[in-house]
Each structure stands twice: as structure tokens, then as C-alpha cells.
Amino acid sequence: MSRIPLIAGNWKMHKTLSATRTLLGELQTAVADVDSVEVAVAPPFTALAAAVETLRGGSIRTGAQNMNEAEEGAFTGEISPVMLTDVGVNFVILGHSERRALYGEDDELVGRKVNTALAHDLVPYLCCGETQGEREAGTTEAVVSRQLLAGLAGVQADQAASLVVAYEPVWAIGTGLTATPEQAQQVHASIRALLAERFGESVAQSIRIQYGGSVKPGNAAELMAQPDIDGALVGGASLDAASFAGIVRATAAAGS
């Protein structure tokens, strides 16, 4: 099955309103002639409305970096799925390793968020990945499987077809280290096999699995050429239009 590759930028805690508008304007120009790759960005909450407005009518999708699993309530500092759909975003990143490690989000909480996102017509980008210690211990596939199965608990096959999985080895996020294409492909293949067991082969083949972890224009093509890597969730390189566009173009070239 042919899957349209997806390159998404996770801006994390970067960019003011004016910087958001500038970056998105540059990015729109830089990828205007690329139609074989889906492009998405996840600015901080304060810039979401500006991003939606800037990108209105274009092909670049806008999403959020996190959300609460409740629709409303006494949750100081939190953002609900209703607020996200109201502002006009299309997707939400859930279970990122920084949320897990820094803010104590466990597998079960991530699973509740995934179900809430789907209930509100938001596409979940479900993140998973192992630490350096877990890779050295040989437990990569066990860790990723545990995270995925908990994250997908309660999700039905007809819902699963729309979601995105992002494999991000924790040891490669922001470190400059990158899994080799062969290492990444091995984990992506195991993820697709698990998805097939959970939802059936047809659904598994329709789900896009991104790679994340120090993806840059120089290594993108080799990674994207792997059969089960369907794009990238990009951190630091997404904060520069030329760099991010370089990844998009490398992905397009890998698929041509």
C-alpha cells in the first residue's frame, strides 16, 4: 500500500506570535511546489490561532503538542480537546518522551488522551520510544510494544486507520545522534507487525509511522527510503524554514 509521507514539525517551547507568522510564511513559500509529501506543524499553544490563520487555505496542517484528556474542568494550566478543535487544529502529539519523562505522563494516561482525541476528531500522533539503557538491555521492542498497546487501549480498527505513530528513540532526541536507517526500519517493522495483530493487516498498512530523533536534511532521504518509515516528527530542524523544507524535499526525492 502506498502511504503519503508525513513530515511534521514539533516546535516545542519556541516561537512568539510574530516569529510564528514569519516562519510559516517562509515555509509556505519553500514547500509550495512539493505535493507528494504532507506537511504539518505543531506550534506552542499561544501561537496556534495565529498559525491556523496564517495557513488557512493552504496544504500545511496545524496541530498541538499536547492536551488534557478531559473536555473541561478545574485543571489549571491545561488545554482541552474542545479548545483545540475550536481554534481549528487538525492533530495533537501525545505521549512524547519529554511529556513522559519531565511531567510524569504514564502509558495509561496517554491512552486516555488518544481516545479523547479520536472522540473529538483530532488525529493523534502517538509517540513511543526507548531510552539508551533500554536499547542496550535489548528491550527496545518490548518497551515500544508496551507503550503502543497501552496507548491504543480501547481504540477500534475503524478509528486506528486515521492515527499516526511516531517512533522516537529517546537517546536520539536533541542529542545529534540518529538511529541508523536499518535500526529505525527494524523497529518500524515491529510496530507495523504489532498494529497488524491489533487491528488487522489492512489497517496496519494504512497507518503512517514516523521516525523522530535528530532528523536533518542530510540524513532524511536515507531514512525515508526505508519501507516502513512514512515520514518524520522533526524537532530542532523544524524551527528553520530552509532546514525543514530540506527534509520535506529529501522525503519527496526518496519517494520518487
Measured CA distances, 159 to 11, 120, 196, 213 (Å)? 27, 12, 14, 27
How do beta strands 61-64 and 123-128 pair? unpaired
Give the distance from CA 110 to its chain's centroid. Answer: 14
- Distance (Å, whole) CA 106 – CA 117: 17
What is the three-class DSSP state of 147?
helix
From the candidates 38, 69, 96, 188, give the one annotated as an active-site residue.
Answer: 96
Asked about 96 being catalytic, the answer comes back as yes
Catalytic residue among 38, 69, 130, 168: 168
Helices and strands, counts by H and E, the chain: 12, 8
Q: How far is CA 252 from each of CA 3, 91, 116, rounded to the nearest angstrom?
A: 12, 22, 33
42, 84 contact by CB (below 8 A): no
C-alpha cell at 210: 514516523
Q: Catalytic site residues?
A: 96, 168
